[in-house]
Structure 1
Amino acid sequence: MKPISEAWFWRPRPVGRPRARLFCFPYAGSNAMVFRTWPADLPPDVELCVAQLPGRGPRLREASFNRIEPLIEALGQALEPSSVPFALFGHSMGGLVAFMLCRWLRARGLPTPAHLFVSSRCAPQFPDSFPPAPELTDAYLLGRIRRYGATPAEILAEPEVLALLLPIFRADFTLIGAYRHTPEEPLESPLTVFGGTNDTVTRPELEGWREHTRGPFALRLLEGGHFFLHTAQAALVREVVQAMPRGASDRLQVE
């Protein structure tokens, strides 16, 4: 049985015999560390596995992906079926990645997640507002980053830090902007969608996810803006844990 790829998935708290695994996918411009505090709110028998994408963190010297298809192919190959139930969670860009990974697994007849969680991401049939790659200038990127408000101003004021951050944001925004939705049959996995009460993603854009599952669908709104992932972490993780698979009898699997 193939172990979890240490190159692709960071486990901040490895669990010897987990009852379930939660695979998380970060938002644009970020890395696996945005989920570093989640283990404190997770049960001890749920193992957190956070995608560590090329071009950031310990993989800073690797080229970032700027198209979603090869990224999903690489992530899919890093997953390996086993008897451990699993769920996928993605915030913003990570929500699109988690959704496309579900489709990738289904297309190859591999086990699909016991639950899909999408956070602060419009349904895939809604077009994104990112301009073409040539228009993603430094000025545009800085303006967009400031509007999101997740990156402290003192960091944006450091030229050396910006020189590292801007290529990551440019690649991620290019990836999002280049995505084109292709209709397919709905997924079988239950789907829970999270949004913030003051989020930039609207309720109709969140409700649009309903058509992408034949399983149970739920929409949960939490206090905060686009990054309620951090400001409402305890409430968010509590909702995720309540919907997580309870044991080997639930739907399946990855190791």
Structure 2
Amino acid sequence: MATAVTQTTTMSMSQDTDSNPNANANSPPTILKLGSTDNIDHHHPDDPDSSQTPAAVFDISPEAALQLLCLNIERLGAYFTQKPAGTDELHAHGPPRNYDTLAEDKFKAKAVGLHIKDSNAPLRATEEAIQMAILAKKFLSKKVPPIPLNEYLLRLHRYCPMSTAVYLAASVYISKMTLVENVLSVLPKNMHRLVLAGIWVASKALEDLSYPHSRVAKVGGVSEQELSKLEISFCFLADFELRVDAQMLMNEALRTQTTLK
């Protein structure tokens, strides 16, 4: 699968040289331009000639995967921002009509046998919802970050580049916790920290080597302690279900392309 993203040298980001002591200040940075699906190949999973086998996901370049992550988070942000005021952020909303739940039904266990009524179940459910709400608030900034999400992701990719699998896995995690598990809403005040935590957690789950904690925190614009809290909160919100395979990553890439046409 051939993928490509447009490149430009006109976009600038603040504090670039401060975040990378080894950056060459004399050479202008080459920055990838995000925000459009025009540069991503659109394949049709139902077409037997499209070669959309799970392994084909690794033919997607990291830059294109980063673009898919950016577009997915922006779409989720627009969806939740348009929700009516007063809607219960944890349980009242359902997934968009065209959202593919990543073949979630395939993983649901079918309960059989004797069912015993648990009188404490509603109380436990309420306590769990409160705990999830507290964890979700960890990602909220006091105000909307001044840097657009696409520039923020480009900054992360410039100084801490990750693999295609990491970017798509982060998209899988966030899509699942927002549209399947309903434990979080993507909003302008939390999307930057959410993608930072998602990428950081995915890199630890999938990669043998990772960047120093201090480096990721500095590039991400948070303290090392804040990054640790975001990482832990993200894992709990994801219920520590961090395993992904090639099929799940391919499904996420195709779903994002389809819904964002």
TM-score where L is the length of structure 2: 0.25
The structure with the largest strand share of the pair is 1
* Structure having the higher Rg: 2
Higher relative contact order (CA 8 A, sep 6+): 2
TM-score where L is the length of structure 1: 0.25
The structure with the largest helix share of the pair is 2
